[in-house]
Chains A and B, each alone.
Chain A
Amino acid sequence: MTTTLSASTGKPASGSIGDETAIHDLGYRRYDGARIGASGAWRALYWQGFRSMFGFGRTAKAKILPAFVLLATLLPALGVLAAASASQGGLAIRYGPLIQAQLILFALFIAAQAPELISRDQQHRILPLILTREVTRTSYASARLAALVSAQFLIALAPLLLLYIGEIGVANDPSAAFEKMGSRIWPVLAQASLVSIALGGIGAALASWTSRRAYATASIIGSLLVATAIATGLDDLAGVSARTSEFIDPIRTMRTMAFILFDEKTRSMELDPPASVWLYAGVLLSLGVAGAGVLHLRLRRLVP
């Protein structure tokens, strides 16, 4: 409510508003405008989180890692495209090996950024400020997870999309190429989604357990390394088939799935054919869902 002391000029009310002489009270004012409720709050949480995944809204240093990961995944793709165009479309473009190299970078991205999204809120103790607003624990968890997963999706999609479009573009006959591999877009999308869901779930779950970002990052990388170690151990020492042991190691699961999706094979896959792609997809999806579950559970228990 602004109270305005004003002197009437005695003129009729046809004068413009600026005519009166007045001292305005600039004190506190009420807000009687629109309120969009929980959905607006969710969007605000999501967008702030999504932007901070790429370092926006934070210091310049925060932009370094995302930029590095993007570059490190895009450049090889560009390189492959350059080679393919030099050979006039004769050299087949293989997605599998490229993705295999990228997965490590994606793990790095998640390990670095999931804590920024989830541990940092705990460290700076802003949860009481958020949870007393139009944000429930569940919607907070889902907004943060969505930001993490969609950021990772973008990063995973970019090089693949580049390859896909580039492959069509460098071919001698683009329209024929498009007909031949138009349907390749689905593997591209599937690969990107499943990778981001799985890694996002793992990252979010582990980050929610500690408020110290360094510990969270270490635990994410550590868990993936331990998984690799176990899978390798089973492989080499226990003589378990590679096809079985790779389900222990999410990175390997994603790698094999990539090869299957793009109809490519590694030597070990030729010797020991993998199961249906749906199994791999199912495993990765479950990982993501389990991670989301852990995140929700952890946030429910937290007393800010």
Chain B
Amino acid sequence: MGANGAGKSTLVKILLGLVEPSSGSATLLGHDVVRDRAGIRQLVGYMPEHDCLPPDMSATEFVTWLARCSGLPAGASRERAAEVLRHVGLFEERYRPMGGYSTGMAQRVKLAQALVHDPRLLILDEPTNGLDPAGRDEMLALIQRTGTEFGMSVLVSSHLLGELERICDGFVLIDNGRLVRAERLGALTEETATLVVEVDGDAAIFATQLVALGVTAQSERHRVLVQLPAGGDDIALRLTYDAVRDTAVAQHVGVLKIERRRGHLEDLFQ
């Protein structure tokens, strides 16, 4: 993740061997990115963000050809191409020229060619670009399955933080060419000490009533934010939750949500 111009695409190009670093080194699956380029080539699969499909080739021809360019024998290339196109969900369309493909089909072909040589590392650049909600769901599910089931490492570059939160286990944040943070997602998205309450009524009044009961609370638009007591005191914690419940009963309002607020990737960009 990173702002436009932060250096994400340059970093990816260095990892892919398309650009040489001015200094420093990187290793990919144990191979040095500059000195041992040859060892890396068949281990990495790349799905670019931009359009890259020749309009007069069919998906089958294209993916088969690229499989051969990855060093697979001709027969195996055909089989792998067929296999991988089925995996991404392209059926009869695969025999038609790609010029007539919809965005969804085009994205699938791009993913297929990244997988055809069975890489150990997948690098995906904006994989859901241009897809409608249903298509995004399917692509994300596809990526998740491919990543988690067979020990393939997946690096996803995206501006859509929501989907990154859905499928990623860790993140790398870059800004201005520098690394800002790189950690597991769990640490960031764990529960905070703030409770978010939504009720079927006036949030400000609800907050005031809670304060009257000795609870630290404030309203924010249509939600009430309650500060949970720190220090692992179970009894104080329960009392706070019960205060929320009791206030709802006293105010005759419906409880729509009681949830501990979690961190979001979005917070990193505020």
Contact = CB atoms under 8 A, between A and B. Distances in A.
Interface of A: 1, 26-31, 33-38, 40-41, 43-45, 48, 57-59, 62, 120, 124-126, 128-136, 303-304
A33 to B, nearest CB: 5
Given A28-B145, A58-B56, A33 B72 contact: yes
A44 B54 contact: no
A28 B41 contact: no
A28 B87 contact: yes
A304 B73 contact: no
Contacts of A59: 56, 97
Contacts of B72: 31, 33-36, 40
Contacts of B69: 41, 44-45, 130, 133-135
B117 A27 contact: no
27 contacts: A28-B115, A28-B150, A31-B80, A31-B118, A33-B72, A35-B72, A40-B71, A41-B68, A43-B68, A44-B69, A45-B69, A57-B61, A59-B97, A62-B56, A125-B50, A128-B16, A128-B18, A129-B46, A130-B69, A131-B18, A132-B16, A132-B17, A133-B42, A133-B69, A134-B42, A136-B37, A303-B18
Nearest to A34: B73
Contact of A124 (B42, B46, B53): B53
Contacts of B52: 124-126, 128-129
Interface residues on B, range: 35 or more
A197 to B, nearest CB: 26
Contacts of B44: 132
Contacts, number: 112
Contacts of A135: 69
B86 interface: yes
A163 to B, nearest CB: 35
Contacts of A35: 42, 70-73
Interface string B40-75: 011010101011111111000100011011111110
B129 interface: no
A27 B66 contact: no
A28 B54 CA distance: 26
B193 interface: no
A58 B61 CA distance: 11
Nearest to A33: B76
Nearest to A42: B69
Contact of B76 (A31, A129, A132): A31
